[in-house]
Amino acid sequence: MMQNWFTCKVKYSRPDADGTESKVTEMYLVNAFSYTEAEGRMYQVIQEELGVGGEVSQITKSAYAEIFRDEDADHWFRCKVSLVSFDEDASKEKHTNIYYLVEANTVKDAFDRIGGEMTKSTSDFIIPGITYTKILNVYDWNGAAAEKMKLEAQGFTSLGERENKEFE
C-alpha cells in the first residue's frame, strides 16, 4: 500500500530557559490519506506528545517513496536518487527521480545509508542530492494507532480512558 506523507508545520509557544514565552515553528512528517486526516493527526500529536496548545499552520504533501529510520541518529535528510535506464527507442539514458527520507547524523551517513539500501535493488542509480531537512519527527500511523484514531473519531473511547474519566 502506498503511503501519503504530509509535512506539517506546527506553531506554538514554549517557555525559554529564562521563563519568557517564545513562539516556535517546528516541522513534522505524518502519513495520512488526506490533508484533513493529516491535520487531525497532527493536532492529536500536539495534545498527546508535545503537551502544548498550538496550531497546524501549514500542510504540504511530500513525495517520499520510503522512510529509513535510525534510532541513533538526530537529523532527517531528503535524498534524491535517480534510477538510470536506457531508452532503446530514443537511444539515450533515462533518469527517474525518487525521493527518500533518511534519519542520519551527517550527510555522509545519509549517503552511505541510502547507497547501501539502493545496492539491494537491481537498477543502476546515482545520488544527485542530499538535503538537510528541519523535520523533527516522523509519525507513521499504522496498525493500532490508526485504528484507535478511527474509533475515537467515531466517538468511541477505550475502557481504561472511560474509567479514568469516571474517577476525575
Q: Which three cell numbers stand for residue 27?
A: 516541522
What is the tens place of the pLDDT at every residue in 125-139? 999 999 999 999 999
CATH number at residue 155: 3.10.20
DSSP 34-63: SHHHHHHHHHHHIIIII-S-EEEEEEEEE-
Between the two ends of the chain, the Cα-to-Cα distance in Å is: 42
Q: How many domains does the chain have?
A: 2
Q: Are residues 55 and 71 in the same domain?
A: no
Q: Are residues 48 and 78 in the same domain?
A: no
Average pLDDT of the segment spanning 80-101: 90
What is the tens place of the pLDDT at every residue in 36-86? 999 999 998 888 877 777 899 999 999 999 999 999 999 999 999 999 988
Q: Are residues 86 and 111 in the same domain?
A: yes
**pLDDT exceeds cutoff 60 at 153:** no
C-alpha triplet 68, 74, 75: angle, nearest 5°: 65
Q: Are residues 4 and 25 in the same domain?
A: yes
Strand-pair category, 92-104 with 66-68: parallel
Domain extent at residue 76:
64-133
